[in-house]
Amino acid sequence: MIKAAVLGSPISHSLSPLLHKTAYEQLGVKGSYEAIEVNAGELAKFMDGRDESWTGFSLTMPLKEEAIEYADHVDDLAKRINSANTLYKDGGAWRASSTDVLGFSHALKSHKVEIKGHVVILGAGATARAAAAACDGAAEHITVINRSLSRVAGMLDAVLESELSFLNWDDLSVLSDADLVISTAPAGVTDSIDLPKKPSGAFFEALYKPWPTPASALWASRGGTVIDGLDLLIHQAIAQISIFSGAAFDISAMYTQLRSVGLAALK
């Protein structure tokens, strides 16, 4: 039996319990999955208080970096981006992994958006590092735009092959030349940014509530392709469901089902 939960703060808005429990029902697997509020700096204390019945945990902000420090074993990809959104039991020990990178890759592929040319990432936190790693090697150039350049060092390990550059938030003219824009900025940050009149690439918004964001709505109204954060949530969740359940299943069919229940819940 699966016993899992999503941890973070704030967490009450999370769709992860709905997605995971729907998946368990589809797989015919017995399991429970809840949302638990865990504040910054409290992950280790929370984990130390769990018994042996737990299968794993999904992690959202602000715990993705703390998971790296807590785990007994850290997958190479999670170590590289210094971010883990998954903790699961592996031989009696806790292993930290990232399914966010797969989430970005699979969401882009499902929308037939090719990672190429110039990719611009808005934000430089844990989700941005996962996005950068997903684009590394396929994109010729990755530009990271952030309100503060203090997180530059953290991005360097996430991008190993593509050319990498940084701009501060007051220089957004680069958006007009982007083949793909990925926004990992918090809600409200991109609401009034200056977007291209005729966008040539896709806009991938990591947020899914509220939806649409002003930036994604404007991008779509000007003829550009938009991918919502629900797709990212679903694709990274599917990878977690595979880890927690150990089951093989039709990923496309599972995506369709989870997308349907996710959209219904957001209405």
Question: Which CATH number covers residue 27?
Answer: 3.40.50.10860
Domain count, the chain: 2
Residue-level pLDDT, tens digit, the chain, 267 residues: 999 999 999 999 999 999 999 999 999 999 999 999 999 999 999 999 999 999 999 999 999 999 999 999 999 999 999 999 999 999 999 999 999 999 999 999 999 999 999 999 999 999 999 999 999 999 999 999 988 777 777 899 999 999 999 998 888 999 999 999 999 999 999 998 989 999 989 999 999 988 999 999 999 999 999 999 999 999 999 999 999 999 999 999 999 999 999 999 998
Runs of H (alpha helix) within 205-250: 214-221, 229-245
User: CB neighbours (10 Å) of residue 19?
Assistant: 28
Burial 170-182 (b: 16+ CB within 10 A, else e): eebeebeebbbbb
Same domain, 122 and 212: yes
> Which residues fall within 8 angstroms of residue 44, CB to CB, at 6 or more apart?
66, 69, 70
pLDDT at 88: 98
In a domain, 107, yes or no: no
Same domain, 197 and 243: no
pLDDT at 152: 78
Report the chain's terminal Cα–Cα distance, integer Å: 31
In a domain, 132, yes or no: yes
Half-sphere exposure of 88 (CA within 13 A, CB side): 19
In a domain, 108, yes or no: no
Same domain, 86 and 129: no
Runs of H (alpha helix) within the chain: 16-27, 43-48, 64-70, 76-81, 100-110, 126-135, 152-156, 214-221, 229-245, 251-266
Same domain, 146 and 58: no
Phi-psi region of 26 (alpha: psi -120 to 50; beta: other; left: phi over 0): alpha
pLDDT at 188: 92
Which amino acid is residue 208, in one-letter code? Answer: Y
Same domain, 218 and 236: no
Question: Which CATH number covers residue 162?
Answer: 3.40.50.720
pTM over the 0.75 mark: yes
Domain range for 31 is 2-98+231-266
Same domain, 32 and 63: yes
